[in-house]
């Protein structure tokens, strides 16, 4: 294991149909995050649940973003991102950032948004915000898998988080 992505299987495998896979994934509860970025390419963000911890040394997260998301070009150009984990009750923020047509850059003018060291927008009222530099990415099928090194943490007000489960928002 040398630390780089390595292909270990034939190019294609038979897999279950997309509808079967999506139905299975709906049964998994997942925290709802706003992935933001800010830098020379501009500021934007999108709602995402495909985030997980990889390692605590160095502190590393994995984020999966659809290639068709408008944010992906800005994110990969800025090479920074912040994972803002939403509080229970922040459904309206999740819905706003889930729309490609929303005026996302101007949403960050609200005083609830600040920055840490990377310049990516940080939601002060999020449960937690993880400010990251992108260290690696790879296109896998429909998505770009991004590895990001966590450079700063902002702990927001404690309390229940917003979770997406069975195609609905829930408070956990
Ligand atoms: C609950 C929820 C979870 C989502 N999770 C992801 C995700 O993990 N990755 C992703 O690429 N899109 C995800 N989306 C969809 C994006 O938020 C959506 O495509 C958005 O319009 C992308 O914005 P953009 O085109 O401005 O980048 C999710 C949407 C919702 C409502």
**Model-level pTM?**
0.96
Q: What is the mean pLDDT of residues 150-160?
A: 97
- Is 5 among the domain residues? no
Greater model confidence, 6 or 58? 58
Phi, psi (rounded to 5 degrees) for 102: -70, 150
- Is 1 among the domain residues? no
Question: Any idea what the CATH number is for the domain that residue 36 is in?
Answer: 2.30.110.10
User: Which atom of ligand 1 is least distant from the CA of 102?
Assistant: 26
- Is 160 among the domain residues? yes
Q: What is the pLDDT of residues 15-24, one digit of tens each?
A: 999 999 999 9
**Three-class DSSP category at 112:** coil
Q: What is the pLDDT of residue 3?
A: 66
On the question of pLDDT at 2 being above 70, the answer is no
- Is 140 among the domain residues? yes
Nearest CA residue ID for atom 20, ligand 1: 98
Q: Which domain holds residue 59?
A: 18-167
Among 32, 49, 83, 169, which is best to mutate for testing ligand 1, by the most ligand atoms less than 8 A from CB?
Answer: 49
- Is 25 among the domain residues? yes
- Is 46 among the domain residues? yes
Radius of gyration of the chain (CA): 16
- Is 2 among the domain residues? no
- Is 75 among the domain residues? yes
Q: What is the mean pLDDT of residues 39-59?
A: 98
Query: What is the spatial distance between Cα 158 and Cα 38, in angstroms, rounded to a whole number?
Result: 26
Domain count, the chain: 1
On the question of pLDDT at 25 being above 90, the answer is yes
* 30 Cβ closer than 6 Å to some ligand 1 atom: no
**For residue 138, what are the contacts with CB-CB under 8 A and spacing of at least 6?**
5, 144, 145
């Amino acid at each position: 294991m040398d630390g780089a992505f390595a292909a270990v299987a034939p190019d294609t495998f038979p897999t279950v149909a997309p509808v079967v896979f999506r139905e299975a994934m709906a049964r998994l509860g997942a925290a709802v995050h706003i992935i933001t970025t800010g830098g020379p390419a501009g500021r934007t963000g999108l709602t995402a649940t495909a985030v997980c911890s990889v390692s605590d040394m160095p502190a590393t997260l994995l984020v999966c973003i659809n290639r068709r998301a408008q944010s992906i070009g800005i994110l990969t150009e800025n090479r920074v991102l912040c994972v803002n984990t939403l509080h229970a009750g922040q459904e309206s923020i999740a819905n706003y950032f889930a729309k490609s047509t929303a005026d996302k850059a101007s949403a960050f003018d609200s005083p609830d948004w600040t920055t840490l060291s990377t310049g990516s927008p940080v939601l002060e009222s999020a449960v937690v915000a993880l400010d990251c530099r992108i260290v690696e990415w790879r296109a896998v099928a429909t998505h770009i898998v991004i590895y990001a090194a966590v450079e700063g943490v902002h702990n927001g007000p404690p309390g229940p988080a917003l979770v997406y489960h069975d195609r609905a928002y829930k408070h956990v």
